[in-house]
């Protein structure tokens, strides 16, 4: 019996040989050998089909695949052994011509055309003169993909901007990436082997850490903010994500911790928190922080049986300083005021900048209300000295309102509301004083609120009515104009004078819709008198500074003239002296826009404020009206006589017409005529009357007088 080769037999060849022998031959000497070979072949094929690797048997001479296993059929996608060309096995064919064992890294083609990488081992052996190649191959697609992903992961690990550390189940650091070192300051060699507890910050309590790791063990992950420490010991805020790595049995092998440094985010949050509770101009606490602190103080006071005081502080005439010197000086003043108030109360109270020119002080743990009054006095006394605003010396006074808990309320809202009433009372009394809240102030505030509500409704319902007061030339006594004066005909309270509701209208902004309605009414009425052929006189309408700066006043006036058809020469607009003397570019531009429409501008209440006749040269005004306070005491009061005489002389020098208001006696009239005043207005020549009465009692007789003349 010949020696067996390790080369497996050719199954098809062996079958052909058995069939060719015939039945008789099988009974002869070949049969035992063939049967043994068949058994060997069966065992070989069983082993081949059990193998997961690709197994091919190739005839070296012909290059034909003479045998293969199930894994090869599945991997190549052919039903019968294909040719090497069919599977693109050029690398295999080339290796058949060499002796010995060789390894290849190549690729093969599937029956559907796609290629896949394989790792191949080829062994050439000889059996009974035949050279056979045993090819063992393995599809390495998955392995190459795994390696690719590992390389990618390693690249990400090394180049990630986030810090990454791998921690053992026992809590020791196994590996770190470069970002870990950059963020924490620990070199990789220093970090590996350390316990993660070495990175813990005192700012993070033990209970939080335990809860975090319990969550990791229970859920497999944890995400959130965590305070740790750098190598220097400096606190380090992180956004941390911890994930559990498990093996095929489910046992934990590592924890992967990825984190980013959120120091800048924390700084931004801290800055935002600061800005939320502090005024950016003065850096003092704002209203929000005051309310929070006040509520906490009220809670403490209930247990301690002590008083809490709240002081509201308004700067008197701040708007005048702001408008005259500019907003930069105004901001500088607010900063200086805040500092001076803080110095006055020192460490005894919380100073807050509420808004604009409003400040507040909270005092707690007071035994008596007098302590709050003393604090208010200290604050007022602190403003006896002037402020230096870039070389300009400015004296500033304050109005202070005081309310106390629990005497005047037990909530922050109640104390603030009552403080507001008290500070308004101080301002109405002239400022530079403090007032402690009383219940009467609530009644006054409620009354003002009622006025505001009724005023809003009355504007909508048309309850406002214009009265007209004539103006006469002092030289010849002829009618030369009329001033339209608003009266509020309240459905329940009757006629309400303007000094009651105009200030409220200006404070609330209702002066804008009210002023527009009155301007339209005055223009339509004047046009109707013109159409009737009555005496033609210009009508003067008062315009508030709030209207001029808070609304498109030039457009409103142009609209009134257009809708009514009234010539612009028959409309005069009276502005207050305080507004005319603002000196700001915006106010001057708006006055010039009004003058460009062809209407005349008059300065009302002249002499009561800070008027400068020299500055009047810059204004587009043609008339000044001397305030009634100067007219009232002439000719008996020499000082007022001198003032009026000087105003008339200087105004005429500037080419301005002078009107005297409040003329009630013949002596006053005679004096004004003697010093050269141009026009008089007052009860002596006529009280304000309704439009109908003015038409019948003033305009009709004036037309008749003109006709006779």
Which range of 15-19, 457-461, 500-504, 592-596 scores highest in mean pLDDT? It is 592-596
Greater pLDDT, 135 or 34: 135
Same domain for 231 and 317, yes or no, is no
pLDDT in the model for residue 526: 95
**Domain boundary residue, one of 264, 289, 306:** 264
Given a cut of 70, is residue 109 above it in pLDDT? yes
Average of pLDDT values for 481-508? 83
DSSP string, 536-579: ---EEEE--HHHHHHS-HHHHHHHHHHHHT--GGGEEEEEEHHH
List all residues 6 or more positions away from 602 whose beta carbon is below 8 Å from its beta carbon: 540, 572, 573, 574, 575, 621, 622, 623, 624, 625, 659
Are 679 and 589 contained in the same domain?
yes
In degrees and rounded to multiples of 5, residue 53 shows phi and psi of -85, 160
**What pLDDT, in 10s, does the model give residues 226-259?**
898 888 888 899 889 999 988 888 889 889 988 8
Torsion sign over Cα 556, 559, 563, 566: positive
Are residue 656 and residue 547 in the same domain, yes or no? Answer: yes
Token representation of residue 634: 């002439």
Long-range residue pairs from 677-680, CB within 8 A, at least 24 positions apart, any chain: 677/474, 677/626, 677/644, 677/648, 678/473, 678/474, 678/475, 679/471, 679/472, 679/473, 679/474, 679/480, 679/481, 680/471, 680/472, 680/474
Q: How far apart are the first and last CA of the chain?
A: 165
Q: Is residue 625 very low, low, confident or very high in pLDDT (cuts 50, 70, 90)?
A: very high
Same-domain pairing of 282 and 172: no
Asked if the structure places residue 450 within a domain, the reply is no
- How much of the chain is in helix, strand and coil states, percent to nearest 5? 45, 25, 25
Task: For residue 6, tell me if it sits in a domain.
Answer: no
How many other C-beta atoms can be found within 10 angstroms of the C-beta atom of residue 279? 20
pLDDT for position 484:
95
Regarding whether 212 and 124 lie in a shared domain, the answer is no
Segment 82-91 shows an average pLDDT of 89
Confidence (pLDDT) at 197: 84
- Most confidently modeled of 163-167, 437-441, 516-520? 516-520
Question: Tokens at residue 519, please?
Answer: 């301007």
Percent of the chain predicted with pLDDT > 90: 32
pLDDT over threshold 70, residue 141: yes
**What is the spatial distance between Cα 472 and Cα 694, in angstroms, rounded to a whole number?**
14
Nearest residue to 283 via CA among 326, 330, 336: 336
Nearest to 573 by CA among 527, 538, 542: 542
Q: Is residue 95 part of a domain?
A: yes
Q: Is the dihedral of CA 127, 130, 131, 136 positive or negative?
A: negative
- Is 122 found in the same domain as 47? yes
Domain housing 566? 462-708
pTM of the model: 0.47
Six token digits for residue 162: 């986030």
* Cβ–Cβ < 8 Å for 410, 300: no
What's the CA gap between 566 and 522, in Å, rounded? 10
Residue 449 lies in a domain: no
| CATH for 295 | 3.30.70.270
Cis bond before residue 406 (omega within 30° of 0): yes
The pLDDT of 170-182, averaged and rounded, is 89
CATH code (residue 567): 3.20.20.450
Q: In this structure, what is the dihedral angle of CA atoms 413, 416, 421, 426, given to the nearest 10 degrees?
A: 180
Percent of the chain with pLDDT over 70: 89
> Of the candidates 388, 422, 437, which is a domain's last residue?
437
Rounded Cα distance between 537 and 701, Å, is: 13
Across the strands, what pairs with 436? 402
The residue to which tokens 């008290």 are assigned = 422
Query: Distance of CA 49 to CAs 72, 116, 125, 349, 516, Å?
Result: 9, 21, 21, 92, 102
Rounded CA separation 419/178 (Å): 61
Q: Directed axis angle between helix 666-674 and helix 638-653, to 10°?
A: 40
Q: Give the closest residue to 342 by CA, choosing from 382, 299, 373.
A: 382
Which among 336, 394, 396, 349 has a CA at the least distance from the CA of 375? Answer: 349
Rounded Cα gap, residues 548 and 555, in angstroms: 11
- Whole-angstrom Cα distance, residue 180 to residue 257? 10
290-344 per-position pLDDT tens digit: 999 999 999 888 877 789 999 999 998 887 777 777 788 889 999 999 999 999 9
* pLDDT of 34 above 80: no
> Does residue 88 surpass a pLDDT of 70?
yes
Q: Per DSSP, what are the bridge partners of residue 465?
A: 487
**Token digits for 272?**
């935002």
Name residue 259's beta-bridge partners: 163, 240
Would you give the distance in Å from CA 57 to the centre of its chain?
77
Same domain, 128 and 150: no
Per-residue pLDDT averaged across 165-184, rounded? 89
Domain boundary among 139, 167, 187: 139
How far apart CA 222 and CA 317 sit, in angstroms, is 60
Cα separation of 576 and 604, whole Å? 5
Structural domain contains residue 270 = no
Among candidate residues 648, 616, 653, the one with its CA nearest the CA of residue 640:
648
Phi, psi dihedral angles at 30 (to 5 degrees):
-70, -25
Residue 174, domain CATH: 3.30.450.20
Phi, psi of 566 (to 5 degrees): -75, 130
Return the pLDDT at 6.
41
2 occurs within a structural domain:
no
Confidence at residue 127, expressed as pLDDT on a 0 to 100 scale = 64
Is residue 617's pLDDT more than 80?
Answer: no
In a domain, residue 3? The reply is no
Instruction: Identify whether 453 is part of a domain.
Output: no
Q: Are residues 127 and 157 in the same domain?
A: no
Task: Please state the three-class secondary structure of 588-653 as a single string.
Answer: HHHHHHHHCCCCEEEEEEECCCCCCHHHHCCCCCCEEEECHHHHCCCCCCHHHHHHHHHHHHHHHH
Residues 36 and 87 placed together within one structural domain of the fold: yes
199 pLDDT band, cuts 50/70/90, is: confident
Confidence of residue 474 (pLDDT cuts 50, 70, 90): very high
Q: pLDDT at position 1, please?
A: 38
261 secondary structure, DSSP code: E
Helix (H) or strand (E) holding 228: strand 221-229
Task: Compute φ and ψ for 125, nearest 5 degrees.
Answer: -135, 165
**437, pLDDT greater than 80:** yes
Q: Total structural domains in the chain?
A: 4
Query: What DSSP element (H or E) covers 137?
Result: strand 130-139
Q: Give start and end residues of each alpha helix (H) in 432-510.
A: 439-461, 498-508
Tokens 């609209």 sit at which residue? 559
Reply yes or no on whether the pLDDT at 28 is more than 70: no
| Residue 563 and residue 699 in one domain | yes
**What is the distance between the alpha carbons of residues 461 and 489, in angstroms, rounded to a whole number?**
11
* Arithmetic mean of pLDDT over the chain: 84
- Given the structure tokens 């603002």, which residue do they identify? 582
21 and 152: one domain? no
- At residue 449 the predicted structure's pLDDT band, cuts being 50, 70 and 90, is low
Q: Is 482 helix (H, G, I), strand (E, B) or coil?
A: strand
Helix (H) or strand (E) holding 58: strand 54-59
pLDDT of 21 higher than 50: no
Q: Which range, 109-123, 203-217, 611-625, has the best average confidence (pLDDT)?
A: 109-123
Distance CA 686, CA 681 (A): 8
User: Picking from 98-107, 354-363, 665-674, which range would have the lowest pLDDT averaged per residue?
Assistant: 98-107
- Report the distance separating Cα 169 and Cα 256, nearest Å: 11
Helix axis angle, 498-508 to 439-461, nearest 10°: 90
Residues 102 and 178 placed together within one structural domain of the fold: no
């Amino acid at each position: 019996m010949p020696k067996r080769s390790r080369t497996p037999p050719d199954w098809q060849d062996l079958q052909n040989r058995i069939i060719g022998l015939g039945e008789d031959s099988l009974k002869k000497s070949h049969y035992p050998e063939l049967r043994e070979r068949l058994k060997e072949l069966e065992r070989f094929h069983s082993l081949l089909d059990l193998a997961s690797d690709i197994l091919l048997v190739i005839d070296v001479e012909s290059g034909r695949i003479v045998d293969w296993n199930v894994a090869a059929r599945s991997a190549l996608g052919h039903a019968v052994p294909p040719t090497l060309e069919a599977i693109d096995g050029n690398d295999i064919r080339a290796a058949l011509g060499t002796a010995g064992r060789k390894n290849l890294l190549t690729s093969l083609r599937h029956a559907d055309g796609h290629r896949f990488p394989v790792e191949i081992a080829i062994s050439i052996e000889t059996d009974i003169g035949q050279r056979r190649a045993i090819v063992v191959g393995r599809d390495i697609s998955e392995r190459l993909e795994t390696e690719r992903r590992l390389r990618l992961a390693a690249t990400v690990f090394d180049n990630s901007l986030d810090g990454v550390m791998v921690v053992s189940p026992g809590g020791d650091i196994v590996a770190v990436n470069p970002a870990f070192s950059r963020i924490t300051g620990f070199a990789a060699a220093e970090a590996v082997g350390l316990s993660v507890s070495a990175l813990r910050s005192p700012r993070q309590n033990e209970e939080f850490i335990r809860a975090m790791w319990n969550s990791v063990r229970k859920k497999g992950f944890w995400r959130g903010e965590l305070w740790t420490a750098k190598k220097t010991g400096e606190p380090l805020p992180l956004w941390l994500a911890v994930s559990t790595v498990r093996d095929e049995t489910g046992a934990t092998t590592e924890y992967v911790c990825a984190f980013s440094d959120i120091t800048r985010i924390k700084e931004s949050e801290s800055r935002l928190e600061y800005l939320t509770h502090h005024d950016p101009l003065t850096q003092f606490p704002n209203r929000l922080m005051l309310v929070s602190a006040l509520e906490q103080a009220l809670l403490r006071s209930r247990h301690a049986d002590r008083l809490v005081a709240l002081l509201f502080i308004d700067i008197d005439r701040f708007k005048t300083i702001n408008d005259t010197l500019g907003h930069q000086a105004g901001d500088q003043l607010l900063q200086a005021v805040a500092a001076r108030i803080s110095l006055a109360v020192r460490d005894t109270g919380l100073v807050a900048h509420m808004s604009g020119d409003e400040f507040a002080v909270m005092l707690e743990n007071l035994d008596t209300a007098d302590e709050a009054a003393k604090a208010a006095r200290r604050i007022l006394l602190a403003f006896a000295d002037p402020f230096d605003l870039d070389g300009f010396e400015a004296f500033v006074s304050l109005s202070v309102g005081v309310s106390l808990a629990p005497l005047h309320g037990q909530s922050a809202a109640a104390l603030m509301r009552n403080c507001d009433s008290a500070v308004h009372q101080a301002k109405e009394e002239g400022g530079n004083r403090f007032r402690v809240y009383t219940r009467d102030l609530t009644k006054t505030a409620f009354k003002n609120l009622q006025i505001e509500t009724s005023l809003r409704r009355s504007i909508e319902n048309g309850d406002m009515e214009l009265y007209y007061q004539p103006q006469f030339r002092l030289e010849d006594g002829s009618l030369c104009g009329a001033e339209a004066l608003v009266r509020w005909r309240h459905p329940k309270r009757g006629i309400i004078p303007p000094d009651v509701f105009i200030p409220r209208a200006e404070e609330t902004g209702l002066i804008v819709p009210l002023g527009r309605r009155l301007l339209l009414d005055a223009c339509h009425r004047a046009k109707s008198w013109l159409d009737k052929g009555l005496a033609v006189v210009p009508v003067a309408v008062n315009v508030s500074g709030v209207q001029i700066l808070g609304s498109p006043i030039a457009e409103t006036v142009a609209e009134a003239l257009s809708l009514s058809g009234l010539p612009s020469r028959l409309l005069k607009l009276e502005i207050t002296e305080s507004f005319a003397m603002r000196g700001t570019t915006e106010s001057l531009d708006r006055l010039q826009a009004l003058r460009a429409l062809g209407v005349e501008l008059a300065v009302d209440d002249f002499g009561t404020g800070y008027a400068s006749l020299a500055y009047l040269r810059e204004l587009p005004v043609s008339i000044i009206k001397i305030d009634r306070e100067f007219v009232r005491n002439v000719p008996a009061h020499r000082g007022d006589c001198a003032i009026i005489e000087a105003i008339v002389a200087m105004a005429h020098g500037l080419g301005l017409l002078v009107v005297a208001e409040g003329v009630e006696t013949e002596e006053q009239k005679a004096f004004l005529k003697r010093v050269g005043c141009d026009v008089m207005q007052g009860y002596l020549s006529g009280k304000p009357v309704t439009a109908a009465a003015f038409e019948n009692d003033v305009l009709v007789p004036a037309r008749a007088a003109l006709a006779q003349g």
